[in-house]
Structure 1
Amino acid sequence: MKLFWITCLGIFSVAATANNLPQLIPQIKPAVVAIALYNPTGSPRLKLIGSGFVVAPGNQIVTNHHVVSKLPDESKNERYVVLSGHGQVPVVHPILSRKNDPIHDLAVLKITATLPALKLADSEYTPEGTALAFTGYPITGVLGLYPATHQSTLSAVTPIAIPQDNSKTLNPKTLRQLQQPFMVYQLDGTAYPGNSGSALYRQEDGVVVAVINMVLVKGSREAVLSDPSGIAYAIPVVHLHQLLAQP
């Protein structure tokens, strides 16, 4: 009888976590933003290039470094901007300053407005098997600012770079990762290039545990694959905490 009740409680716990997501998503969306390249004379003027999310005190935007690493065309007065809001008429926020962490592919952008912020987990690694979700712009907002949410499970905590059998497969980025290895999250959910910079959060409470990354990690662990897999990766928030603490 005792075993029966334990089993029932376990099933109820899993179901309760899954049922949290419909109530959680409306709370997450106001803190989800898009990163865009603004060209005042272009058509269209705004080109969405990635996702991001707001953290405390509400004027800091987290995304991937590679999303904002390309130099804008100054001859066209191009510049990076943050887009908030919902639908076809986004609110455009100029970027005042930014912090960069190219090694972990993270960037923190500062804007003037104060937006709803997501809570970050502490620096401990999230247990494998945790039910997670991420919300962002998988096709970079072709139809406007309508963020999409995908469910995922944390499959493994794994090194970003794996030893290569053949020196011909090595490149400068892989060598740096082998010399300075760090752990990343491997997920069983599929993310797309526009999801880069999305918050990966617990379905249980919406607390952010990592930042989705579709370039830095896939370019190293999946370099030997001819076709992309259905696996996604994310950078744990321990590295984000370190970047946020910088002056």
Structure 2
Amino acid sequence: MLVIALPVSAASLPDTIAKIKPSIVAIGTYNRLAKPTSKILGTGFIIGNGKRVATNAHVIPANISKQNKVRLVVFVGQGSNIEMRNATIAAVDKTHDLAILSLSGSPLPPLNISSKHVREGELYAFTGFPIGAVLGLHPVTHRGIISSITPVATPAQSTKTLSIKQLKALKNPYRVYQLDATAYPGNSGSPVYDPKTGQVIAVINKVLVKKTKESLLSNPSAITYAIPAKYLKALNSSIK
């Protein structure tokens, strides 16, 4: 009888998914005067003391303020068992399109942010809410390899063809991870993690990188990018 040995990562991924799912949340807004009253804008995940939520900065709408009736909220749970909690902005890093929110209520299980050296060809997974609430608040997991570690912006033959954001990125370039797995708009803010340990190595980004790296394309590609976790770790450490 032929016995096929599965890779360690493939064998342990189901257990890792079960452990990290309680830390995956949806980021949205609530307005009791609107219809619908709530909107799902992206994904986030619990870090630090269990009351901090990491996500992309672009997920947070610009109309959040004390003067209007739109509240920033985090949806905890999955399926029909959903709890809505208030959230406030704790820190924002616009350069790397990252944000950390402070969450009301009791702490949730946090994910660990890894400092490991990531290599091309390594296999990772990410879990979030693709296409927001269209598919329901059921966390979805994808996996793929790091297909490239690439600059956040690509130089052009002429500065006239570059956008302002691309020019700024070229002045202070940093590298991002390119994945061979497909992420969707609702996946923005999803953690990219080690299938064996669940440690977060990056944050999915569907907006910043495409606008800078692919601004020359009339039809942006379906390539998935992620912001390295070291920038999230630095942002979290900056909070007093």
**Shared topology, TM-score over 0.5?**
yes
Q: Name 1:234's counterpart in structure 2.
A: 226
Change (3 A) 1:144 1:75: farther
| Residue 78 of structure 2 corresponds to residue 86 of structure 1 | yes
- Aligned counterparts, 1:17-32, within 5 A: 17-32=9-24
Structure 1 contact 154–186 (Cα < 8 Å) conserved: yes
TM-score (norm 1): 0.90
2:153 aligns with 161
CA distance in 1, matches of 2:221, 2:74: 30
- In the alignment, is the contact (CA less than 8 A) between 1:129 and 1:153 conserved in 2? yes
Name stretches of at least 5 consecutive residues in structure 1 with no aligned partner: 1-10
Match of 2:172 among 163, 171, 180: 180
Q: Secondary structure of 2:156's match?
A: coil
Q: 1:119 aligns with which of 107, 112, 116?
A: 112
1:125–1:236 contact (8 Å) kept in structure 2: no
Counterpart for residue 29 of structure 2: 37
Tell me the residue number matched to 1:196: 188
Q: 1:82 to 1:131 in 2, by over 3 A?
A: same
Number of residues paired by the alignment?
235
Contact residue 212 and residue 234 of structure 1 kept, 8 A: yes
Matched, 1:220 2:212: yes
What are structure 2's unaligned runs of at least 5 residues?
none
**CA RMSD of the aligned region, Å?**
1.7
- Native 8 Å contact 1:189 1:230 kept in 2: no
Amino acid in the other structure paired with 1:50 = G
2:124–2:192 Cα contact (<8 Å) kept:
yes
1:101-129 Cα offsets, whole Å, 9 max, x none, are 0001000001133001111101x431111
Native 8 Å contact 1:34 1:84 kept in 2? yes
Contact 2:163/2:215, CA 8 A, preserved across alignment: no
- Residue by residue over 1:131-186, the C-alpha shift from the partner in whole angstroms, topping out at 9 and shown as x without a partner, is 11110011102243111111111111111011112223212111110011111101
Instruction: State the distance in 1 between where 2:135 and 2:222 align.
Output: 24
CA distance in 1, matches of 2:95, 2:200: 20
Counterpart of 2:169 in 1: which secondary structure? helix
Q: Pick the aligned partner of 1:66 from 46, 58, 61.
A: 58
SS at match of 2:137: coil
Indicate whether 1:100 and 2:88 are aligned: no
Secondary structure of 1:85 counterpart? strand
Identical amino acids, percent of aligned pairs: 43
Distance in 2 (CA, whole Å) between partners of 1:95 and 1:75 is 16
What code does the residue aligned with 2:237 have?
A
| Distance of 1:143 and 1:188 partners within structure 2 | 22
Task: Return the offset for 1:57.
Answer: 1.2
Give the AA of the match of 1:148. V
What's the counterpart of residue 126 of structure 2? 134
Conserved? CA contact 1:39–1:76, under 8 Å? no
Alpha carbons of 1:203 and 1:44: their partners in 2 closer, same or farther (altered >3 Å)? same
TM-score normalised per structure 2: 0.92
Q: Does 1:150 align with 2:146?
A: no
1:23 & 1:228 partners in 2: Cα distance? 35
